[in-house]
Structure 1
């Protein structure tokens, strides 16, 4: 009996040693999360805040390069789910900034996190993007009025009927190369509306959505930035030979010439609902793709949202190396300056 008791105690000690060795590692993540949530509770007592979101590191670097962001002395940041939410002020306005990371899942997840966890009164999304509008130039900053996420496609068999509820139809079979040589078998593509769930809508009931619009009252305030263009010190574009970026390629020379030592201008697409924006199509530029996710998540939760985009490249329309590697930092800095000025205007 004594031998059995010793054996059982020995096993118990082994289990206890194993438990003490393993449990600290197992509980490390929840404890870190608990600490972050405690800090968030303290931060929220000083709210509400403007939520600021960028996507990539170069946009974040440009934002901090303005020197406008002043970190909170006690809680300068909160780390949660691998992201760093930075707490501070810009021109006395309380803000929380986060870099969401590349991809629509990251964009939507980070936006939902900042809205759920912090005392937020609205979202400002900003960064760089491709441009397909000849009236705008590299380095310009725009504030689009509306966006369409066009990533929901139905690919239909050549001999099937396209869904009549689709917003857009594309009959690929009609675009053979070389032209006139039979019919290809790619069929049709139809773009569907988003299923949009909103705090302002009926629970568990989706509404069809094509155009997602940014908040009108913030757009109205942002319109005043055009009058402040000269005071924002937007960076210069050194030289860009637009004539070399013809589409289709090789068909003569366009008349746009080149940009040389000119100040980037601030553009706003406000009040032009029927005017084509620089680029809506998410397939063409990954930067606009993130934007659709941020925008719809903010609107779904019932928060005001506005978007600033600096034009960094021609969205694949150029020959040779993409201009984003050369002009991305400039476009990002111009955008950050415009955002800082807009926050100042909000006061």
Structure 2
């Protein structure tokens, strides 16, 4: 998610059987995650046979969506929250795949608000080193390197992740999404109709589209800065940026679980002509991402 936290009430349809989560749920499920209430509210239409369990204060709602057994929950805003709640779900449910639905900031100038982007890989672009200013130039310690140009004092450096079968951390920057899920998303995209107006009749100037493939980047900050937006595009060839997807992708990699994220542009991350657009188009973007993800769930085997 690319946003500031929003405190809002969100009711997951009809919840029952509330209580602490104990033994692992053996039912094979698809995990559907959003970061905060306006996003997950857009996913609730069609969720049936619901039951809610809680663990560490996080509510997990099981049920059926488009004929599939699912567990739906909010990750919370930010990289740490997203990683923590995703691992929590994997530890207590039998999860076959992870689908993330939410809003994002647009980076690629060819994209517009309302578009849905389904990147083929995710990276943590703000993880790294705050370098020392030496004689008017920023330089990392001599034992460190970066594969990317710096943004001022900030150099992007991956720190690695362990997984079964590895004897040392995997130092890759990019975490690919599941290729079969990406192919399925490409297949269903042609038949999905997206919204172009809000309930208050704030309408987009361009008909929204679905873009499958490319790069997404995630970091711990809400971005409303044209220079950082340009850096993300020029350096990482990113289409979108958010605050959770790369963290979930890393957890999915560590657990060997298929992952994909669906992100709809609520704003241009500081690249627009006026004030940040998220307040106007957040609900529309969340709805568009949810529309695509429901179509993908319906098409799962």
TM-score by length of 1: 0.68
Equivalence for 1:299: 253
Q: How does 1:157-168 map to 2 (within 5 A)?
A: 157-159=132-134, 162=140, 163=142, 165-168=145-148
- Matched residue pairs, number? 258
User: In the superposition, relative to structure 1, how do residues 102 and 284 fare at CA in structure 2: closer, same or farther (>3 Å)?
Assistant: closer
Give the superposed CA RMSD: 2.3
1:51 to 26, 31, 53: 31
Q: Equivalents in 1 of 2:265, 2:74: separation in Å?
A: 19
Q: Equivalents in 2 of 1:190, 1:288: separation in Å?
A: 19
Moved over 4 A (4+): 283-287
User: In the superposition, relative to structure 1, how do residues 125 and 225 fare at CA in structure 2: closer, same or farther (>3 Å)?
Assistant: same
The structure having more radius of gyration, on CA atoms, is: 1
Q: 1:298: how far off?
A: 1.1
- SS of the equivalent of 2:186 reads helix
1:342 equivalent to 2:279? Answer no
Q: Equivalents in 2 of 1:194, 1:139: separation in Å?
A: 34
Q: Which has the higher helix share?
A: 1
Equivalence for 2:164: 199
Q: Equivalents in 1 of 2:218, 2:292: separation in Å?
A: 24
Q: Equivalents in 1 of 2:88, 2:53: separation in Å?
A: 12
1:325 equivalent to 2:253? Answer no
Q: How does 1:66-81 map to 2 (within 5 A)?
A: 67-72=45-50, 76-81=51-56
1:234 equivalent to 2:194? Answer yes
Q: How does 1:13-52 map to 2 (within 5 A)?
A: 36-38=20-22, 40-41=23-24, 44-45=25-26, 47-52=27-32
Q: Which has the higher strand share?
A: 2
- SS of the equivalent of 2:104 reads strand
- SS of the equivalent of 1:194 reads coil
Q: Equivalents in 1 of 2:75, 2:218: separation in Å?
A: 21
Unmatched segments (≥5 aa) in structure 1 = 1-34, 173-187, 241-258
Q: 1:87: how far off?
A: 0.5
1:90 equivalent to 2:65? Answer yes
1:264 to 208, 212, 237: 208
1:280 equivalent to 2:223? Answer no
Q: 1:320: how far off?
A: 3.8
Q: 1:285: how far off?
A: 4.3
Q: Equivalents in 2 of 1:171, 1:81: separation in Å?
A: 37
- SS of the equivalent of 1:222 reads helix
Unmatched segments (≥5 aa) in structure 2 = 1-18, 224-240
1:217 equivalent to 2:197? Answer no
Q: Equivalents in 2 of 1:239, 1:135: separation in Å?
A: 21
Contact 2:218 2:244 in 1 (8 A): no
2:42 to 56, 62, 65: 62
Q: 1:282: how far off?
A: 2.6
Equivalence for 1:152: 127
Q: 1:105: how far off?
A: 1.6
Q: Equivalents in 2 of 1:298, 1:333: separation in Å?
A: 25
Q: Equivalents in 2 of 1:166, 1:148: separation in Å?
A: 14
